Amino acid sequence: MGKIVILTGAGISAESGLGTFRDEGGLWAQHRVEDVATPEGFSRNPALVHDFYNARRVQAAKAKPNAAHEALARLQKNYPGEVVIVTQNVDSLHEAGGASNVIHMHGTLAGALCAACDHRWPAPPQMAVGETCPACAAPTARPDVVWFGEMPYQMDVIYDHLAEATLFAAIGTSGQVYPAAAFVYEAMQSGAHTVELNLEPSTGAASFDEVILGPATETVPRWIEGLLNRR
Ligand code: OAD
């Protein structure tokens, strides 16, 4: 059985009540990316950045996984080959929905990171400016999320998976942020069948073999039932 690699974005968590970035009224319409999602923004005004992620952490903690997260976990359990989930999302809804081995390429709200020594530990619900690192005691704690200008996590592992993929699906992502937006091309080069599941065609929709439009809670469970029944 071939390897399935699934890339997810904010759209898969939208029906769990978590806002996306670029839809109308999305997070980037309310906040300036340069202020809250760059290392420079954090140096300039760490309190503002902590406020932004503290609010998202509170919201994410209240959110429940939806039928799309649960269907992906079902695919991981019932598909005889490997199913790798790579998410750009910093929420933990894949894990809450029962998925395992989720690669959080943009980090996670659940984590804190020391900007001085790279030590990681579970984030408290509210992070504060000047919080010290439990390993080196520097007052340099930051959310363990990837900001613009920083390298996403586990890229080597992700590219290795893409090189072995026989099926690649992108779910709920606008395809506007690299390197994730280029995963479809990597998968194509490996000979994988490529599928996009999104509310509307993404920027790169024309590059996919198949595009399935609609809300993730409807399209993803239906698509996964089809995959599991096809065997
Ligand atoms: P975006 O907000 O850019 O795109 C979300 C996509 O989900 C859009 O194409 C929507 O049409 C689609 N969508 C919305 N509701 C949906 C639903 N119910 N079902 C299916 N699709 C739906 O979010 P991402 O592509 O995840 O990075 O953004 C990528 C990265 O940009 C994020 O990880 C974040 C952001 O800046 C960093 O902060 C580094």
Domain with CATH 3.30.1600.10 in the chain: 21-62+108-145
Which architecture does CATH list for 21-62+108-145?
2-Layer Sandwich (3.30)
Q: Does the Cβ of 177 fall within 6 Å of ligand 1?
A: yes
pLDDT in tens, 169-197: 999 999 999 999 999 999 999 999 999 99
The pick from 23, 40, 142 for probing ligand 1's pocket by mutation, whose C-beta has the most ligand atoms within 8 angstroms, reads 23
Single out the catalytic residue among 50, 69, 94, 106: 106
Superfamily of domain 3-18+65-106+152-230 in CATH is: TPP-binding domain (3.40.50.1220)
pLDDT in tens, 112-130: 999 999 999 999 999 999 9
pTM score, whole prediction: 0.97
> Is the bond into 124 cis (omega within 30 degrees of 0)?
no
Cα separation, 71 vs 108, in Å, equals: 21
End-to-end Cα distance, the chain: 10
**Amino acid at residue number 75:** L
Helix or strand run (H / E) with residue 93: helix 93-96
**Amino acid at residue number 136:** C
State the closest ligand 1 atom to the C-alpha of 23, by its place in the atom list counted from 1: 2
State the closest ligand 1 atom to the C-alpha of 216, by its place in the atom list counted from 1: 19
Domain with CATH 3.40.50.1220 in the chain: 3-18+65-106+152-230
